[in-house]
Structure 1
């Protein structure tokens, strides 16, 4: 056998060892850590959750982990029962929470909350049209409208206002027609 053949054979043996080791590590990790469902987590509305719902959900999760580990029919049935119970608990809690919310919104104080909720939903649904930000005299970045309106650095040295470019591509300041129109 030539030296080249030994090198190729040695590489093959090393590759086989690596494959075997990596497969054993994967199997052990799967057994110890378990396997996720593969779906990404969604942001869930939980303002209506209570202790019963929390407990029911945690029982369901424990049953799911047990089923993932054991993979037998008994643990599958237990998980399915917990899943059904959790669904019922969630539906009841949600129903009670929305009932209270609707009662509150029907009152005089609730009317204000209704408009507040509508404004929040409207703002949350808007796309960002442009980014507003300026720097004050000290170089600090100001992003809120109230900070910008309170900032004296928006006025030039001769007390004329500076316009601010609010396009996302630029944050430069420009002294423009304000100078001629402000007098």
Structure 2
């Protein structure tokens, strides 16, 4: 029944598709992380463009190094940001933020793909 309701709703109302930026949790990103990620992506593009085997081996090593540096920068930035956030939650003002975080986590838990009921135009079930 839920599948049928979903199909009818899609046919009647249509479906919108939003494009995700790909970075769902980037509030902790610093400028250092952004530059490291940009460098890693550029080295990967260079690796893909290369056709010479010797140069390709050299570029692969450069990409691996950039990847390691990026992982380290991401880990460091995350740890610093979370540490700062948890320290701020221990204050009186942080109590409000704690409830906001709990509310956001609760919203993320809800499965919006399940249709329980659909109301008619007049509001009746």
Counterpart among 119, 123, 127 of residue 107 in structure 2: 123
The aligned residue for residue 93 of structure 2 is 109
Q: Aligned to 1:123, what secondary structure does the other structure show?
A: helix
Shift of 1:105: 0.6
- Give the direction of change, closer, same or farther, for the CA distance of 1:85–1:173 in structure 2 (3 Å limit): closer
Range moving further from structure 2, 77-86 or 117-126: 117-126
The aligned residue for residue 97 of structure 1 is 81
Decide which structure has greater strand share: 1
2:31 maps to 1:47: no
Shift of 1:168: 1.5
Shift of 1:86: 0.5
Shift of 1:44: 3.2
2:8 maps to 1:58: no
- Structure 1 residues not aligned, in runs of 5+: 1-40, 132-166, 175-183
Once residues 88 and 61 of structure 2 are traced to their aligned partners in structure 1, the CA distance between those partners, rounded to angstroms, is: 41
Shift of 1:124: 2.4
2:56 maps to 1:76: no
Once residues 78 and 70 of structure 1 are traced to their aligned partners in structure 2, the CA distance between those partners, rounded to angstroms, is: 13
Q: Name the Cα RMSD after superposition.
A: 2.2
Equivalenced residues, count: 99
| TM-score, normalised with respect to structure 2 | 0.70
- Higher RCO, 1 vs 2 (CA within 8 Å, ≥6 residues apart): 2
Once residues 170 and 125 of structure 1 are traced to their aligned partners in structure 2, the CA distance between those partners, rounded to angstroms, is: 27
Shift of 1:92: 0.6
Which is higher, the Rg of structure 1 or of structure 2? 1
Shift of 1:169: 5.1
Once residues 84 and 39 of structure 2 are traced to their aligned partners in structure 1, the CA distance between those partners, rounded to angstroms, is: 27
CA deviation profile, 1:50-86 (whole Å, cap 9, x unmatched):
1000000000000000011115100000000000000
